[in-house]
Structure 1
Amino acid sequence: MSRSAAVAAVALGLLAASPATAYAVDPGKDADAVIQGICSGGNRANVFGYKATHLGKGPVYKDGPGGTMTLSRTTAETLSTTVSGTGGVTASFAVVEAKAEISITATTSVTWTSAHQYSHPITSNKYGNAQYGSWGHTATWERYYELPDCTKTQRKTGGVRIANTAQGFKYWETSS
């Protein structure tokens, strides 16, 4: 038997003797540890499922129908990162996770003053709407206890709105 045929036969024998099990590895975990079913265990927290969104704060301005919407000032506001649900993670933890995973400009709160100008054309027969805010993210938080076999127990989840230092107006149109 040739050497390559012998290697193939040994490899095939090993594959036949090994169970064919697929493992889903959680981000941030050691893949080898999960495959072996060995995790350090203990309390864990995670923030995941980030979606970029505008987090508006303050009045919604409306103009039209048609023409041009021009805003020369907004009210001073502070928008903070918020966490919904009980027994979950803190806003500070959510911001640290967001800085590491999606945006270094994530912050626990952002403040703006009343000195901003904005102009946008409005489609005829439509009304223009605008609101100032932070271009942040929404996400889901989870807190759980990890068993040594990598199973999650005592899982709690909730939502989080993560503020960002990037800010400005969001514009949209309506029929009335």
Structure 2
Amino acid sequence: MRSKLERSLIVLPALTVVMAAAMTSAAAAAPLSDRSSVAGEAGTSVGDPAPTACDNPVRTWYEIAGSSPAIHMKWPGTSFKDGPGGTMVVKVETGGKLKIEGTAGFETEVSGVVAAAKAKVDVTLGVEVSITVGHEYRHDISRNKYGHTVYGAWGRKVTWRKYTTSADRCGKRLVRTATFTIPGKEGVGWRYWETSS
């Protein structure tokens, strides 16, 4: 027959097992808010929403917001007027580079804007076109009219915007916007028109 001391020692472990099982089932049955606080005690918070995170690459780029129809960019020293009537004969006397025109201070933006304009507007657009000496032009002027002509390159006036990735890397941030007039490499020549005076 067991002594009182031996019986006490057997009862204690059994009680410990029953109490541990009761605590586990209570935690499992607890509502989510209660479980969050229980889990929080262990160092993790189940109820807190995860912060929004975007992983867009950090970059800078240009977009073309609009462009004009073809416009003629004048080469200096080639504006002529003659008449009334008769025949106009003109010639390019000086050569050089007809370059992109735009707002001062944006010279560092040229290559990026031209690349975007070539992709979206016209593949012949470029930073500059060569003007060579000797291009002669002859045109008959209508009776009682005055003939006008100018040499240059046809190009496009484009409105551009520069963007960079936003600080949270989820969107974009506008850095600046301006306009450039960009010459076309395949549109060099004379422009002619007539007036009454």
Q: Name the TM-score, length of structure 1 as normaliser.
A: 0.65
- 1:80 and 2:99 aligned: yes
* Rounded Cα–Cα distance in structure 1 between residues aligned with 2:144 and 2:165: 57
Per-residue CA deviation, residues 48-95 of structure 1 (Å, 9 max, x unaligned), is: 322211111112111111222122444213111133155686221222
Listed as ranges, the gaps of 5+ residues in structure 2 are 1-53
Of Structure 1 and Structure 2, the greater strand share is in 1
The amino acid of 2:72's aligned partner reads H
The amino acid of 2:185's aligned partner reads T
Name the residue aligned to 2:66. Answer: 49
Per-residue CA deviation, residues 14-36 of structure 1 (Å, 9 max, x unaligned), is: xxxxxxxxxxxxxxxxxxxxxxx
Name the residue aligned to 1:33. Answer: none
* Rounded Cα–Cα distance in structure 1 between residues aligned with 2:102 and 2:73: 14
Name the residue aligned to 1:175. Answer: 196
Name the residue aligned to 1:131. Answer: 150
Q: Give the count of matched residue pairs.
A: 138
Q: Counterparts in 2 of 1:77-156, with a 5 A limit?
A: 77-84=96-103, 86=105, 90-145=109-164, 147=166, 150=171, 153-156=173-176
Higher CA-based Rg: 2
* Rounded Cα–Cα distance in structure 2 between residues aligned with 1:89 and 1:142: 14
Moved over 3 A (4+): 38-44, 85-89, 144-150, 152-155
* Rounded Cα–Cα distance in structure 1 between residues aligned with 2:120 and 2:64: 9
The answer to whether the 8 A contact 2:61-2:112 is kept is no
Of Structure 1 and Structure 2, the greater helix share is in 2
**Percent identity of paired positions between Structure 1 and Structure 2:** 33
* Rounded Cα–Cα distance in structure 1 between residues aligned with 2:73 and 2:176: 24
The amino acid of 2:183's aligned partner reads A
Q: Relative to 1, partners in 2 of residues 1:136 and 1:69: Cα closer, same or farther, differing over 3 Å?
A: same
Listed as ranges, the gaps of 5+ residues in structure 1 are 1-37
Q: Name the TM-score, length of structure 2 as normaliser.
A: 0.59
Name the residue aligned to 1:158. Answer: 178
